[in-house]
């Protein structure tokens, strides 16, 4: 085992510890540094310098969750019952994010299982999704209003009385595709972004809660399947009534040329 591999294993252990500590204790940095010092000290004094010796050191240190529990208890932050409540609150926040994301996101801020960074990402993601959805919906609406893009095929005949003299340009597929894409993205913004947020929050609970190893893969799997279905079936639903770009009468430009 070379030095790079050794550092990798130690860093992984300390990252696991940092995740187990979450955002809660203010003294987490000092604890992590103490544990790092312990590992270095034990390594310096180890009779053999191989992978097994390092794993033995980490095993004697204990599971990061056990250290985190001890830290919380010594800080008086999570008396026995509180930990369970916190866990239930966290999972509730994940599920509620799918149904009504503003409430789910607010709830996530009351849990100590996520870091401030996680909570910030979970707050920004659905807001960005909402903005994306609103912007694209507005753009599509304006495009339809201006006659650049219109629902096909009902309005095509009415708005596109191509003069016989002028060659009728075929309705470009690009316009239709743009409409489908914009609608799909808008739907993603409204529905997909909260799903992605919930999946992200669930993923971050994977190692931070006792139930995480069972619940997190289950929920993330469900959310990803829902996303996949959304992506696969939404365009199909949108396509028949898709907005379609109708070219302006070609005669206009020809007349202008004359």
List residues binding another protein (CB under 8 A): 27, 30-31, 34-35, 37-38, 40-42, 44-45, 60-63, 66-67, 70-71, 73-75
Min dist CB 56 to another protein, Å, is: 11
Angstrom distance (rounded) from CA 50 to CA 56: 10
How far apart are the C-alpha atoms of 46 and 85, rounded to whole Å?
42
Q: Closer CB to another protein, residue 60 or residue 174? A: 60
- Closer CB to another protein, residue 30 or residue 173? 30
In the chain, what is the greatest distance between 2 CA atoms, to the nearest angstrom?
95
> Which residues are bridge partners to 149 per DSSP?
245
Residue count of the chain, please give it.
Answer: 258
- Of 237, 224, 229, the C-alpha closest to 183 is 237
Of the two residues 42 and 162, which places its CB atom closer to another protein in the complex? 42
The least CB distance from residue 229 to another protein, in Å, is 45
- φ and ψ at residue 207, rounded to 5 degrees: -105, -5
Nearer to another protein among residue 42 and residue 139 (C-beta):
42
Q: Compute CA distances 203 → 17, 215, 233, 251, whole Å.
A: 16, 10, 25, 58
User: Which lies closer to another protein via its Cβ, residue 7 or residue 74?
Assistant: 74
For residue 24, give the 3-state DSSP assignment: coil
Closest separation between CB of residue 33 and another protein, Å?
9
Q: How far is the CB of 180 from another protein (least distance, A)?
A: 56
Least CB distance to another protein at residue 4 (A) = 18
CA pair distance 60, 79, nearest whole angstrom: 25
In the Cβ-directed half-sphere of 243, how many Cα atoms lie within 13 Å? 23
Q: Which CB, 38 or 51, lies closer to another protein?
A: 38
Find the shortest distance in angstroms from Cβ 8 to another protein: 19
């Amino acid at each position: 085992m070379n030095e790079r591999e050794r550092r990798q294993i130690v860093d992984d252990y300390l990252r696991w510890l940092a995740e187990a500590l979450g955002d809660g204790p203010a003294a987490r940095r000092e604890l992590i540094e103490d544990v790092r010092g312990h590992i270095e000290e034990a390594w310096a004094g180890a009779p053999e310098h191989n992978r097994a010796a390092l794993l033995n050191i980490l095993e004697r240190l204990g599971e990061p969750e056990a250290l985190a529990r001890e830290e919380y208890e010594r800080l008086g932050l999570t008396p026995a019952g509180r930990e369970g409540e916190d866990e239930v609150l966290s999972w509730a926040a994940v599920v509620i994010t799918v149904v009504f994301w503003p409430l789910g996101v607010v709830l996530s801020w009351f849990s100590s299982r996520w870091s401030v960074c996680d909570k910030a990402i979970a707050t920004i993601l659905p807001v960005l999704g909402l903005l994306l959805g609103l912007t694209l919906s507005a753009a599509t609406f304006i495009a339809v209003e201006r006659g650049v893009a219109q629902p096909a095929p009902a309005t095509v005949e009415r708005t596109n009385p191509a003069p016989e003299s002028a060659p009728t340009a075929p309705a470009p597929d690009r316009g239709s595709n743009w409409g489908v894409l914009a609608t799909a993205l808008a739907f993603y913004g409204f529905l997909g972004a909260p799903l992605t947020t919930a999946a992200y929050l669930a993923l971050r609970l994977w190692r931070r809660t006792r139930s995480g190893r069972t619940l997190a893969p289950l929920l993330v799997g469900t959310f990803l399947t829902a996303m996949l279905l959304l992506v696969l079936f939404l365009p199909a639903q949108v396509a028949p009534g898709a907005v379609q770009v109708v070219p302006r009468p070609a005669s206009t430009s020809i007349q202008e040329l004359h």
